[in-house]
Amino acid sequence: MAISISTVDMFCGAGGLTYGFEQAGLPVKAGYDIDPACKFPYEHNNKAKFLLQDVQNVSGLDLAEHFSGSSIKVLAGCAPCQPFSSYSRPYNDRPSKWKLLQDFARLIEECEPDIISMENVLQLKLHSVFQEFIAQLKKLNYCFEYYEVNCLDYGIPQSRKRLVLFASRFGKINLIAPTHNPDTYQTVRQTIENLEPLSAGQASPIDRLHRSSKLSALNLRRIRASKPGGTWRDWPQDLMAKCHIKKSGKTYPAVYGRMKWDKPSPTITTQCFGFGNGRFGHPEQDRAISLREAALLQTFPPTYQFVAPDEPVLFSLVGRLIGNAVPVKLGQVIAHSILNHIHQFN
């Protein structure tokens, strides 16, 4: 008897995880998210249906419709990581933000999937909500395992470490072996060097997403004084901001920096299009990386569309979609791990 698999992607965003799943051969029926901007990229680039719905209003019966007729049910989720991230540490312990993960646990109990995957920031492990989630999996008799994944080990050209959890009714799910090592890590050069050059504030006539944000006259002087891999400490003092000159400013070296050609990029965030928001300066050109370059560093294919042709490309909106996404190749890693597990036990 042939195995039929259906997957539902909770907190699906613009579709990075779903696209990775589909590329790996793990079919996805539907994706849920509360952000209406996700609908176009999710459905345009993927076969799955997008549902604009808050997870707290989704029930196990809703998910059962997507799983109907399938012999194996897979539920994937990446609850928005801001509550747990070091970027928002002062807000980490707000219980209201934990409800996203608690609702994910509720859906597991209600729809009883055969396999579960969850991806999030490493800091999630430090919070009681994670231990509660683990306790719920134990209560429901799932076999579970979680891994600290270095994205560089799987061909993602980005310094990004993530927590990946698997749970199954069949047994332990093993993460697939790394595909890369420090000698073969993918770099910024390998990922974006071939894109056409741009000036700050310029957009490509060929690819609407290949556009860079404008720079003030002061920031243009700053980026010209910046070295690949360096910081604002490389600048002459007249270019430094007051917060840099203060003693407290010395604790923020990872801003106003250029990437290095032959190294991976820093973690791509929702603000990756801004020169002053991190080490997001282009290695050579006097600008921040473009939206397309950010998407490529997130391992989206160069044809992935985030905005409908008749809609404007807004940096804040598209930056959010790209920065919040699960890297496509990480989605493939998770999917291959699940498929190996299914073939082992079925």
Query: Which amino acid would we find at residue 104?
Result: F
Helices 95-111/128-139 angle, 10° precision: 10
CA distance 288 to 259: 10
Task: Give percent of the chain with pLDDT exceeding 70.
Answer: 92
CATH number of the domain encompassing residue 127: 3.40.50.150
- DSSP secondary-structure letter at 137? H
Residue 111 is among the residues annotated as catalytic for this protein? no
Domain count, the chain: 1
Q: Decide if 222 is inside a domain.
A: no
List pLDDT tens digits, range 282-319: 999 999 999 999 999 999 999 999 999 999 999 999 99
What DSSP string describes 31-67? Answer: EEES-GGGHHHHHHHSSSEEEE--GGG--HHHHHHHH
Its pTM surpasses 0.85: yes
Q: Decide if 288 is inside a domain.
A: no
- DSSP secondary-structure letter at 337? H
Q: Cα 9–13–14 angle (5° rounding)?
A: 110
Residue whose entry in the numeric block shows the structure tokens 């749970």: 167
Q: Decide if 145 is inside a domain.
A: yes
161: phi then psi, degrees, rounded to nearest 5:
-115, 135
List pLDDT tens digits, range 321-336: 999 999 999 999 999 9
Q: Decide if 18 is inside a domain.
A: yes
3-state SS, residue 332 = helix
The two structure tokens encoding residue 50: 């997008």
CA distance 217 to 238: 13
CA distance 277 to 306: 22
Q: Decide if 92 is inside a domain.
A: yes
- The range of the structural domain enclosing residue 48 comes to 5-180+327-345
In 3D space, the residue among 195, 196, 198, 207 whose CA is nearest the CA of residue 313 turns out to be 207
List pLDDT tens digits, range 180-193: 999 999 999 999 99
**137, pLDDT greater than 60:** yes
CB of 75 closer than 8 Å to CB of 116: yes
Cα torsion angle, 289, 292, 294, 299, sign? negative
CA distance 222 to 232: 8
The residue from 12, 78, 81, 111 that is catalytic is 81
